[in-house]
Each structure stands twice: as structure tokens, then as C-alpha cells.
């Protein structure tokens, strides 16, 4: 399903496993199965974690995003859809390099779940930051 001209954006850890937009160590671009760009995840130092990744993927001209389950909050979804980026969901913890064609198109359920998870993470940050 990934075309030869697709530029895929996603977030991974050092061991090349997918991780949430808000937690992964790196943001990467992949073309033809090869990482063509790798940078420290900009969400790690941002208040708006998930949307920061979505904006960066658009800035880097990604044509497809592989969003680890729980990453695709409503603002991120809107940013990517408005830019015409195809959005698919992958399982956190799976290793990059496995068949990248095994993913599901983003659904309303995924956006809802991810939005609630983002709210929970934000509340936990506030609680633990105040202690």
C-alpha cells in the first residue's frame, strides 16, 4: 500500500520500535523502506506534543503518517487531514522494518481514544508538576 513515491513520517525509539508521538525519542521520514531523515522528537520539549509531531510531518512534506495507536488526537488529525496526508495506525512497540503495509486507516474511534489519552497525559503532567 505504500507507493514508491510516498514519504512516510512516524515516531520511533532507539531500538526502532514505534512509540507514541508524545513519548518517542525520534521523528523519522522513510522512503522506499529506508530512513531518509531522523531528528530528536520535537514533541519532547513541547506543550502541545501530538500536534507538534503532526505539524513537523507536514513541514517535512510527508505524504503518509504512521501514527502509533494513541497518538492521533483531534488537533493532530485535523493538521494532517488539512494537509492531505494519508494517516494510518500502527501498534506501539512493533519494530520498524516489519511489513509497513500492515496497518489500518485512521478511524474516528482512534481519534477519540487518542484525544482522551492526550487529556489524561496532560492532567498527569499538571498533577506531578505541582508536587
Segment 21-50, tens digit of pLDDT: 999 999 999 998 899 999 999 999 988 899
Q: Give the pLDDT score at 1.
A: 66
Kindly indicate the confidence band of residue 4, based on its pLDDT and cuts at 50, 70 and 90.
Answer: confident
As a whole number of angstroms, the distance between CA 22 and CA 45 comes to: 10
Using alpha carbons only, give the angle 13, 1, 73 rounded to the nearest 5 degrees: 50
Q: What domains can you pick out in the chain, each with its CATH number?
A: 8-130 (3.30.420.130)
Q: Which three cell numbers stand for residue 28?
A: 523519522
Question: Average pLDDT in the 81-98 region?
Answer: 91
Q: Give the pLDDT score at 29.
A: 97
**DSSP label of 36:** E
Question: Average pLDDT in the 82-105 region?
Answer: 85
Number of CB atoms found within 10 A of residue 35's CB = 16
Q: Give the pLDDT score at 124.
A: 86
**DSSP label of 48:** S
Q: Which residues share a beta bridge with 3?
A: none
Amino acid at each position: 500500500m505504500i507507493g514508491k513515491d510516498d514519504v512516510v513520517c512516524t515516531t520511533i525509539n532507539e531500538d526502532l520500535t514505534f512509540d507514541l508521538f508524545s513519548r518517542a525519542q525520534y521523528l523519522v521520514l522513510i522512503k522506499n523502506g529506508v530512513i531518509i531523515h531522523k531528528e530528536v522528537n520535537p514533541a519532547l520539549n513541547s506543550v502541545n506534543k501530538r500536534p507538534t509531531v503532526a505539524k513537523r510531518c507536514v513541514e517535512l512534506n510527508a505524504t503518509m503518517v504512521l501514527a502509533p495507536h494513541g497518538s492521533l488526537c483531534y488537533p493532530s488529525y485535523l493538521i494532517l487531514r488539512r494537509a492531505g496526508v494519508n494517516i494510518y495506525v500502527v501498534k506501539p512497540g512493533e519494530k520498524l522494518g516489519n511489513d509497513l503495509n500492515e496497518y489500518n486507516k485512521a478511524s474516528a474511534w482512534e481519534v477519540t481514544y487518542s484525544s482522551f489519552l492526550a487529556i489524561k497525559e496532560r492532567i498527569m503532567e499538571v498533577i506531578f508538576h505541582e508536587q
